[in-house]
Amino acid sequence: MGRKKKKQMKPWCWYCNRDFDDEKILIQHQKAKHFKCHICHKKLYTGPGLAIHCMQVHKETIDSVPNAIPGRTDIELEIYGMEGIPDKDMQERRRTLEQKSQESQKKKNNQDDSDDDDDDDEAGPSAPQVAAVQPQASYAAQWPSLGFLRSLALLGCHLEDIKECLL
Protein backbone atom coordinates (compact mmCIF):
# COMPACT_ATOMS: atom_id res chain seq x y z
CA MET A 1 0.00 0.00 0.00
CA GLY A 2 0.99 3.63 -0.31
CA ARG A 3 3.45 3.74 -3.21
CA LYS A 4 1.77 4.93 -6.36
CA LYS A 5 4.88 5.23 -8.54
CA LYS A 6 5.37 2.75 -11.39
CA LYS A 7 1.83 1.52 -11.25
CA GLN A 8 1.58 -1.48 -13.56
CA MET A 9 -0.67 -0.69 -16.46
CA LYS A 10 -3.53 -3.05 -17.07
CA PRO A 11 -2.88 -5.16 -20.17
CA TRP A 12 -4.52 -3.82 -23.30
CA CYS A 13 -4.40 -4.66 -26.97
CA TRP A 14 -2.65 -2.01 -29.05
CA TYR A 15 -4.39 -3.21 -32.20
CA CYS A 16 -8.01 -2.87 -31.03
CA ASN A 17 -7.81 -0.94 -27.69
CA ARG A 18 -9.43 -3.71 -25.65
CA ASP A 19 -8.63 -4.20 -21.95
CA PHE A 20 -7.51 -7.50 -20.52
CA ASP A 21 -7.08 -8.74 -16.95
CA ASP A 22 -4.09 -10.91 -17.80
CA GLU A 23 -1.30 -10.50 -20.34
CA LYS A 24 -1.53 -14.21 -21.19
CA ILE A 25 -5.14 -13.72 -22.27
CA LEU A 26 -4.09 -10.64 -24.23
CA ILE A 27 -1.49 -12.69 -26.11
CA GLN A 28 -4.04 -15.40 -26.88
CA HIS A 29 -6.41 -12.67 -28.12
CA GLN A 30 -3.75 -11.17 -30.36
CA LYS A 31 -2.88 -14.55 -31.87
CA ALA A 32 -6.55 -15.37 -32.49
CA LYS A 33 -7.70 -11.95 -33.70
CA HIS A 34 -4.74 -10.16 -35.20
CA PHE A 35 -2.05 -12.72 -36.08
CA LYS A 36 -4.17 -15.48 -37.57
CA CYS A 37 -3.71 -16.45 -41.19
CA HIS A 38 -6.98 -15.91 -42.99
CA ILE A 39 -6.15 -18.67 -45.49
CA CYS A 40 -5.08 -21.64 -43.36
CA HIS A 41 -6.09 -20.24 -39.90
CA LYS A 42 -2.64 -20.85 -38.47
CA LYS A 43 -1.93 -18.58 -35.49
CA LEU A 44 1.28 -16.64 -35.70
CA TYR A 45 3.00 -14.65 -32.93
CA THR A 46 3.42 -11.20 -34.42
CA GLY A 47 2.33 -9.04 -37.33
CA PRO A 48 5.58 -9.50 -39.26
CA GLY A 49 5.38 -13.23 -38.50
CA LEU A 50 1.96 -13.34 -40.14
CA ALA A 51 3.16 -11.36 -43.13
CA ILE A 52 6.15 -13.68 -43.65
CA HIS A 53 3.93 -16.74 -43.25
CA CYS A 54 1.47 -15.55 -45.89
CA MET A 55 4.29 -14.59 -48.22
CA GLN A 56 6.19 -17.87 -47.90
CA VAL A 57 3.31 -20.37 -47.62
CA HIS A 58 0.55 -18.77 -49.70
CA LYS A 59 2.50 -16.31 -51.86
CA GLU A 60 0.22 -13.55 -50.60
CA THR A 61 1.10 -10.09 -49.40
CA ILE A 62 -0.58 -8.76 -46.27
CA ASP A 63 -0.39 -5.01 -45.77
CA SER A 64 -2.46 -4.53 -42.61
CA VAL A 65 -3.16 -6.36 -39.37
CA PRO A 66 -6.61 -8.01 -39.35
CA ASN A 67 -9.29 -6.65 -36.96
CA ALA A 68 -7.23 -3.61 -35.99
CA ILE A 69 -8.66 -0.12 -35.48
CA PRO A 70 -7.70 2.62 -37.98
CA GLY A 71 -4.11 3.78 -37.49
CA ARG A 72 -3.12 0.56 -35.68
CA THR A 73 -2.85 -1.71 -38.67
CA ASP A 74 0.92 -1.52 -39.19
CA ILE A 75 1.96 -5.07 -40.11
CA GLU A 76 5.65 -4.17 -39.74
CA LEU A 77 5.41 -3.52 -36.01
CA GLU A 78 6.53 -6.39 -33.84
CA ILE A 79 4.08 -6.25 -30.94
CA TYR A 80 3.65 -9.18 -28.61
CA GLY A 81 1.30 -8.66 -25.66
CA MET A 82 2.42 -5.39 -24.08
CA GLU A 83 5.89 -5.55 -25.64
CA GLY A 84 6.85 -3.48 -28.63
CA ILE A 85 4.08 -0.89 -28.29
CA PRO A 86 5.39 2.52 -29.47
CA ASP A 87 6.26 4.88 -26.61
CA LYS A 88 3.93 7.64 -27.76
CA ASP A 89 1.00 5.23 -27.71
CA MET A 90 1.93 3.99 -24.23
CA GLN A 91 2.02 7.62 -22.98
CA GLU A 92 -1.25 8.46 -24.68
CA ARG A 93 -2.85 5.39 -23.11
CA ARG A 94 -1.53 6.38 -19.68
CA ARG A 95 -2.92 9.91 -20.11
CA THR A 96 -6.41 8.75 -21.11
CA LEU A 97 -6.49 6.36 -18.16
CA GLU A 98 -5.53 9.19 -15.77
CA GLN A 99 -8.16 11.50 -17.27
CA LYS A 100 -10.81 8.83 -16.85
CA SER A 101 -10.00 8.26 -13.18
CA GLN A 102 -9.89 12.02 -12.53
CA GLU A 103 -13.30 12.47 -14.16
CA SER A 104 -14.89 9.75 -12.09
CA GLN A 105 -13.37 11.30 -8.93
CA LYS A 106 -14.79 14.71 -9.87
CA LYS A 107 -18.25 13.24 -10.34
CA LYS A 108 -18.10 11.65 -6.90
CA ASN A 109 -17.02 14.94 -5.29
CA ASN A 110 -19.82 16.91 -6.95
CA GLN A 111 -22.42 14.52 -5.61
CA ASP A 112 -21.04 14.81 -2.06
CA ASP A 113 -21.04 18.65 -1.99
CA SER A 114 -24.53 19.24 -3.31
CA ASP A 115 -26.58 19.88 -0.10
CA ASP A 116 -24.30 22.47 1.55
CA ASP A 117 -25.58 25.68 -0.08
CA ASP A 118 -29.37 25.97 0.40
CA ASP A 119 -31.58 26.34 3.52
CA ASP A 120 -30.18 29.55 5.13
CA ASP A 121 -32.68 32.15 3.82
CA GLU A 122 -35.91 30.41 4.74
CA ALA A 123 -36.38 31.12 8.48
CA GLY A 124 -35.55 34.89 8.60
CA PRO A 125 -38.49 36.79 6.93
CA SER A 126 -41.24 34.53 8.29
CA ALA A 127 -40.84 35.51 11.97
CA PRO A 128 -41.90 39.25 11.62
CA GLN A 129 -44.90 38.17 9.51
CA VAL A 130 -46.23 36.01 12.33
CA ALA A 131 -45.80 38.92 14.78
CA ALA A 132 -47.73 41.27 12.44
CA VAL A 133 -50.75 38.96 12.15
CA GLN A 134 -51.42 38.69 15.87
CA PRO A 135 -52.39 42.38 16.64
CA GLN A 136 -54.81 42.39 13.66
CA ALA A 137 -56.52 39.28 14.95
CA SER A 138 -57.01 40.63 18.49
CA TYR A 139 -58.25 44.00 17.09
CA ALA A 140 -60.92 42.20 15.04
CA ALA A 141 -61.95 40.12 18.03
CA GLN A 142 -62.55 43.23 20.14
CA TRP A 143 -64.70 44.89 17.46
CA PRO A 144 -68.46 44.37 18.13
CA SER A 145 -70.19 41.92 15.81
CA LEU A 146 -73.03 42.93 13.45
CA GLY A 147 -75.41 40.86 15.50
CA PHE A 148 -74.58 42.87 18.62
CA LEU A 149 -75.20 46.18 16.77
CA ARG A 150 -78.52 44.86 15.40
CA SER A 151 -79.77 43.81 18.78
CA LEU A 152 -78.92 47.26 20.11
CA ALA A 153 -80.99 48.77 17.24
CA LEU A 154 -83.89 46.49 18.07
CA LEU A 155 -83.75 47.80 21.59
CA GLY A 156 -84.48 51.26 20.10
CA CYS A 157 -81.11 52.86 20.34
CA HIS A 158 -79.88 55.28 17.65
CA LEU A 159 -76.64 54.63 15.86
CA GLU A 160 -75.22 57.82 17.37
CA ASP A 161 -75.92 56.49 20.81
CA ILE A 162 -74.31 53.17 19.98
CA LYS A 163 -71.16 54.99 18.88
CA GLU A 164 -71.10 56.92 22.10
CA CYS A 165 -71.58 53.76 24.09
CA LEU A 166 -68.66 52.09 22.34
CA LEU A 167 -66.36 55.08 22.71
Binding residues vs Zn ion (CB under 5 A): 13, 15-16, 37, 39-40, 42
| Smallest distance from Zn ion to CB 50, Å | 8
| Separation of CA 93 from chain center | 21
CA distance 13 to 27: 9
Nearer to Zn ion, 24 or 158 (CB): 24
| Smallest distance from Zn ion to CB 64, Å | 14
Nearer to Zn ion, 15 or 85 (CB): 15
User: Of 128, 150, 139, 18, which is closest to residue 82 (Cα–Cα)?
Assistant: 18
| Smallest distance from Zn ion to CB 121, Å | 57
For the chain, the residue count is 167
Nearer to Zn ion, 86 or 144 (CB): 86
| Smallest distance from Zn ion to CB 89, Å | 13
CA distance 118 to 44: 64
Question: Residue 19 pairs with which residues in a beta bridge?
Answer: 12
